[in-house]
Chains A and B, each alone.
Chain A
Amino acid sequence: METISPSHYLFLALCLFSIGFFGVLLRRNILLLLMSLELMLNGINLALVTFSRTSLNLDGSIFVFFIMTVAAAEVAVGLALLVALYKKRQSVFSEDMNLVSN
């Protein structure tokens, strides 16, 4: 049986990041957009932890804590804004976000 090597983790991290990235580009629902943003950050976290673990260097692991904190703060602000916007516009779809345009 094949063991799980760092490259497997890195491949998973890249997959997570790509899913998130294309989610941000393609999704129409802003809630899902915010989730995709989180997914990107999770992919990055996984890659950092893998690098940190294979090289036994702690910088990466410490960085992960900062990224997690920032991700939580970002989503808190994002959801608050989305709730306020939903109350006004009754929609969470990006095609309805067309007030600020030419």
Chain B
Amino acid sequence: MEDFLRFSNDNLWSELWPELTLALGAVLILLIQLFSNKAATNICGRLAVLFQVVLLGYLLLDYLLIHHTFDRSSFSGMLRHGFQGDLMRTFFLLASICVSILGNRFLLTNKLKTGEFHHLTMLATAGLMLLCQSANFIVLFVALETVALAFYPLVAFDRSSSKSLEAGIKYLIFGALSSSLLLLGIVLIYGVGSNPGAWGAISPSTNIGMDILSFEFVGLLLEANQTNLLLRSGVVLVLAGLAFKIGAAPFQIWVPDVYHGSPTPITAFLAVSSKAAGFFLLLNLVNGPFDSMSEFLLPLFGFIATFTILFGNLAACAQRKLKRMLGLSGVAHAGYLLVAVMASMHFAGDSDRAVWVIFFYLFIYLFASFIVFGVMGIATLKDDSDHEIGHYEGLLQKHPWAAISLLVGIASLAGIPPFGGFVAKLMLFNVAFEAKLYTSLVAMVIGVVISIYYYFGWIREICFEPKPHFDDDNEPIDPWTKMHQLGLLKLLIITFAVVSFVFGIWQGPFGDAF
């Protein structure tokens, strides 16, 4: 027992309690699934939601009331914890709860096993939480792969559907390719860093006991060798690997296909959590170890952001399938956020304002996305992946609560006042203007106008009377028939709609960023 205590204290294992608890819960869910009889399988879903809600409650209680959060590191500097990391933990846990709730509905209608789904979702979330605390490239890689390996089977979860399987294979190949690029970048940095000749001003005394792959050392190394070609290509490759994850052009090829084929809850999971993690990591890297490369990276980022915004929005216009449209619109959102990342690089030393805007934007994006995907999850279609605008005609007359929530979600995504998305975009414009990123600002304004155009087609379809069908001999199937027993999902959608509206009027502490 004493040995165990010493072991635990040396490495500060207790700093990782949310991740450990979540992973333990995931294993527990799998065991319950394994040993329960068929009739009781639905218990896994309820248990998973309950477990995560309790964990989230305790997490918030811990940060706000018991242990006020402060910057600290554990595992000999391999992990770094702080307020921003804690905020991201809350974010991922909230998203994970929503995915579980959406997933329960999806699994029920498709008659799939529940245990594995929740197990993988919770493991992915634990990996995402760890990813945001990492301060070393080894931990970064391992956490990133934990997340990716949990995501591949989730994307292909509906094994009876060829589309889902195909999306899974595509995601696996692109994901593995992107992590290879990331690894090559890390290897190049390590190759230079392991050569004492490149240390320059870093005196040997500060190096003792310092990992070459830690963010701190890489930061010093890059500062000492700002024009080294190997290091520059290393940095670009690491960022390219991350650009794959966030779906920034020209690495967005996988986004529409994978979003289209995967089950609706997982599309939401990819759109919200995976992207948010990529952005937090990007923010950590460009303001941490890659800080001294800012002058070299900014033009590159500027080009990528502009290209991403315009490409995402223009490509979304041409889509008939809703999931592809939302995916490409998500690409455009990644472009907007990249502009905020650039702004944070411009405010050297005082990047906090841009960082808060990014956090606010991510939370608003979470609320809006889960409203939209939640309502999409309610619709019972023959094929889960083939949502089209036509399925939504006259929803306002049939089910006003779903339609109004969906309208709020769409308006928030498109950035129509007075909803949260509008304020978040306004804040983004504001920081971009202050950082003097005029070209990107113009691209953002054009992008928002285009996005209102294609979202408006959807809004029109929801609001107006269904058109009479003349030449169809078979009556179109109404997807909005099974609207009873929604329980938590209905609560979730309505709550998020209210929250989106409230944040559009009152931003609380985030409002200070103006």
Q: Which residues of B contact A20 (CB under 8 A)?
A: 180
Q: Which residues of A contact B191 (CB under 8 A)?
A: 47, 51
Q: Which residues of B contact A67 (CB under 8 A)?
A: 141, 183
B170 within 8 A of A: yes
Contact A60 B173 (CB under 8 A): no
How many Å lie between the Cα of A17 and that of B181 in the bound state? 10
B26 within 8 A of A: no
Q: Which residue of A lies closest to B137 (CB)?
A: A63
- Name B238-256 residues within 8 Å CB distance of A: 256
How many Å lie between the Cα of A54 and that of B258 in the bound state? 42
Nearest Cβ on chain A to B289's Cβ, whole angstroms: 15
Contact A51 B257 (CB under 8 A): no
Contact digits for A58-102, partner B, Cβ 8 Å, 1 yes 0 no: 011011001100100110011011101100110000000101111
Contact A84 B156 (CB under 8 A): yes
Number of interface residues of A (CB under 8 A): 41
Contact B194 A60 (CB under 8 A): yes
Contact B183 A41 (CB under 8 A): yes
From A44, A63, A85, give the contact of B169 (CB < 8 A).
Answer: A85
How many Å lie between the Cα of A55 and that of B194 in the bound state? 6
Q: Which 9 A-B pairs have the closest CB atoms?
A: A55-B194, A100-B261, A40-B180, A85-B165, A70-B145, A100-B260, A37-B176, A100-B257, A51-B191
Q: Which residue of A lies closest to B139 (CB)?
A: A66
Contact B187 A48 (CB under 8 A): yes
Contact B172 A77 (CB under 8 A): yes
Contact B173 A37 (CB under 8 A): yes
Nearest Cβ on chain A to B167's Cβ, whole angstroms: 5
How many A-B pairs have beta carbons closer than 8 Å: the answer is 120
Q: Which residue of A lies closest to B175 (CB)?
A: A74
Q: Which residues of A contact B153 (CB under 8 A)?
A: 77, 80-81
- Name A23-50 residues within 8 Å CB distance of B: 24, 30, 33-34, 37, 40-41, 44, 47-48
Known contacts A51-B194, A63-B213, A66-B138; can you find 18 more A-B pairs with CB under 8 A? A20-B180, A21-B180, A37-B173, A37-B177, A41-B180, A44-B180, A44-B183, A48-B190, A67-B141, A70-B149, A77-B153, A84-B156, A85-B166, A97-B166, A100-B167, A100-B170, A100-B257, A100-B385
Known: A47-B187, A51-B190. A77 touches B152 (CB 8 A): yes
Nearest Cβ on chain A to B357's Cβ, whole angstroms: 34
How many Å lie between the Cα of A100 and that of B323 in the bound state? 11
Q: Which residue of B lies closest to A98 (CB)?
A: B166
From A17, A63, A70, A100, give the contact of B184 (CB < 8 A).
Answer: A17
* 22 examples of A-B residue contacts, CB within 8 angstroms: A20-B180, A24-B177, A30-B173, A40-B180, A51-B194, A57-B194, A59-B138, A59-B213, A60-B194, A63-B138, A63-B213, A74-B172, A74-B176, A77-B152, A78-B172, A80-B153, A81-B152, A81-B169, A85-B162, A100-B257, A100-B261, A102-B318
